Amino acid sequence: SKIHTVENFLTEDECKAVEEAAKPTLHDATVADGSGGSHKSDSRKAKQAGIKVHWDKEADGDLIARLSRRVYDYVNHVLPFNIMEDGQEDLMSIQYFGRGPEEDQPDRYMPHCDGDCNGMLFKPGNRMATIVMYCEIPKVGGATNFRNSGIHIKPKQYAATFFSYIDPGTMKMDDEFTEHSGCPVVEGEKKIVTQWVRLGVDKENPWNSFNTLGIKHSDAENQ
């Protein structure tokens, strides 16, 4: 597993483009339910919106496509999988709002893993890395805490935190090393862009064609 921070990963213009694209569909954040779906949970309070990347506009300088390409270039710089954009999840705009120190249900995300974190073999089509990019940072709170690895990352505007939870040599997932939490936002706003990166997906086998066991839904129905 790896945990990196990268300063000046994205630009103010890219952040504005993401926020504008997110406005029409911003909704209460959900968590995965273990069966391929998702639901609201007290463990996560935030707003989110999926953002489709218009790859056909990349050559014309589309800001979101430019940012997304940088994400995959970085992933391929540190992991030996030659990850492509085809079949991946959408970029996700996530926004947390501070409501003061007296708030008993602050916006936050309790400790969780983005993919399997049980030390078992990787399941095809599932997540194996994450990159979190910080567009707006709160005045108080909002750090990313990896409690099992002893790493506490205070967000910095336009920086990114990358973490992978797979061993490329053994293809085993980590054993809760990258379990993390989004600490409560107390004052101000925290606006991030997240890409969950999957392995084993492509245009013909997109991320939502697999269940959490690494089996295609179509194959599972025929069993």
pTM for this prediction: 0.91
Which has the closest alpha carbon to 12: 72, 63, 51?
63
CA 207/CA 197 separation, integer angstroms? 10
For 173-186, the pLDDT digits (tens) are 999 999 999 999 99
Q: Enumerate the H helices of the chain as residue ranges.
A: 12-22, 63-78, 217-221
- State how far the Cα of 162 lies from the Cα of 114, in Å rounded to an integer: 12
Length of the chain: 223
Average pLDDT over residues 51-75: 97
Contact (Cβ atoms closer than 8 angstroms) between residue 186 and residue 101: yes
- pLDDT tens-digit map of 1-39: 999 999 999 999 999 999 999 999 988 876 565 555 555
Distance (Å, whole) CA 12 – CA 34: 36
% of the chain exceeding 70 in pLDDT: 91
Task: Give tens-digit pLDDT for 78-121.
Answer: 999 999 999 999 999 999 888 888 888 888 889 999 999 999 99
Q: Is the pLDDT assigned to residue 53 strictly greater than 80?
A: yes
| Strand 108-112 to 180-182 pairing | antiparallel
